[in-house]
Amino acid sequence: MSAALGTAPARDLSSSTTTVSRAIGPVLATATVATGLMSGLFFAFDVAVMPGLAASDDRTYVTAMQHINASILNPVFGAVFVGALAVPAVGTWLLHRSGLRAAALWSGVATALYLAALVLTSAVNVPLNDQLAAAGDPAAITDFAAVRAAFAPTWTTANIARTVLCTAAAVALTRALLLHRAPGARPSAR
């Protein structure tokens, strides 16, 4: 009868919904892993890298941070850094489209938290990294203490904030993933 009325059969609509529904789990899992990796990276700086460097002399500190800042700019880091924003945003859209409002809300919160970490990175950490690079070759730097003092306290504090934001985003994504997987979470298909 639906063919006689010129409307699409119900199975076509449910097929599209099923495809979207099947994509949600892998998308949320990928988002959670990417956000967890970023949180872990920032956490490693908080508890190991920066305390280790803090115990070093000024020249070692400045030289090491210049090398770290240069080496982290690679395709693997870039993919995770950007993916930790893009993939949760896609997950939020998919959840919303599937009618999973509570899970979509948590995924949206995660996206906003990670976006805040990116804004902080762009506003504080990257300019400080650029300033440290502009200090030049360590062989030509005459006042390592001043270069370090202009960098370390603010960068370290901002990194702690990034860790908190990314960890909260990972927790929110975990909640979205659990809500998505919960029995009865999916709207009934007709």
What pLDDT score was predicted for residue 22? 84
Give tens-digit pLDDT for 84-132: 999 999 999 999 999 999 999 999 999 999 999 999 999 999 999 999 9
What residue segments make up the domains of the chain, in order of their start? 11-181
Predicted pLDDT at 2: 47
Residue 77's alpha-carbon distances to 16, 41, 65, 107, 114, in angstroms, are 34, 10, 17, 22, 15
Residue type, 91: G
pTM of the model: 0.86
Give the model confidence (pLDDT) of 37-92 as tens digits.
Answer: 999 999 999 999 999 999 999 999 999 999 999 999 999 999 999 999 999 999 99
Please tell me the total number of residues recorded for the chain in this structure.
190
Find the radius of gyration of the CA atoms of the chain. Answer: 23
